[in-house]
Chain A
Amino acid sequence: EDQVTQSPEALRLQEGESSSLNCSYTVSGLRGLFWYRQDPGKGPEFLFTLYSAGEEKEKERLKATLTKKESFLHITAPKPEDSATYLCAVYNAGNNRKLIWGLGTSLAVNP
């Protein structure tokens, strides 16, 4: 069964303390992996798309990487405004009309 698992469920960091969020997946024929950020009471905001193992994308303090089994979202020197829930989702070859979602990692960055 296609599945996306995110860890940890929650993470609390001090401002400037770098860390990584994990998204592991078991899908048949990955066609794309997506990272989103979601603030409370709002819809998810698109961050990155990764298509193949070895690919990396960067945006400000965030860097997303992809292997054949998992993706990491690295957060370098986070700031309090990076506090949010980070969601991972995948498209697979047999189900490319809708995304399969993880439950998210809730990140809190303390000043």
Chain B
Amino acid sequence: DTGVSQDPRHKITKRGQNVTFRCDPISEHNRLYWYRQTLGQGPEFLTYFQNEAQLEKSRLLSDRFSAERPKGSFSTLEIQRTEQGDSAMYLCASSPGGVYGYTFGSGTRLTVV
């Protein structure tokens, strides 16, 4: 296992289009997190899974955002009807639970034009 993988690394899309990102966590990790990060800011929490259950979703997240983690393995994050304000780095992280550091993927850079 080589760590957390995210695909694609970069995505350019036109406003109004739907996009989907994929995250493959470290296989032994049962917790998976999605974050969004813009330039000069720390990561902003979006949502969190424990195994296949989505346990928490940020109140700041609009209904255009949805995430899944079927079978508790990989996860997808979909953004519908993208807006220019969605342009950011989308980060996925996994952890074994408890008070352990997260392992992050390299992120997906989304640009909405």
Contact B42 A42 (CB under 8 A): no
Binds A, one of B60-68, B76-84, B103-111: B103-111
Name the B residues within 8 Å of A32 (CB-CB).
99
Report B79-113 CB contacts with A as 1/0, cut-off 8 Å: 00000000001010100000111111111010000
Nearest residue, chain A, Cβ from B108: A43
Number of residue pairs across A and B with beta carbons under 8 Å?
Answer: 57
Name the A residues within 8 Å of B48 (CB-CB).
97-98
Contact A45 B104 (CB under 8 A): yes
Docked complex: A17-40 residues within 8 A CB-CB of B: 31-32, 34, 36
Nearest residue, chain A, Cβ from B103: A46
Report B7-49 CB contacts with A as 1/0, cut-off 8 Å: 0000000000000000000000001010000001111110010
Q: 7 closest A-B pairs (Cβ-Cβ)?
A: A101-B42, A43-B104, A32-B99, A46-B101, A43-B107, A44-B104, A31-B99
Show 27 residue pairs from A and B whose CB-CB distance is below 8 angstroms, ordered by the A residue: A34-B102, A41-B89, A41-B107, A41-B109, A42-B107, A43-B4, A43-B6, A43-B105, A43-B107, A44-B91, A44-B102, A46-B101, A46-B102, A46-B103, A49-B100, A49-B101, A87-B42, A87-B43, A89-B42, A96-B99, A97-B31, A97-B55, A99-B45, A99-B102, A101-B42, A103-B42, A104-B42
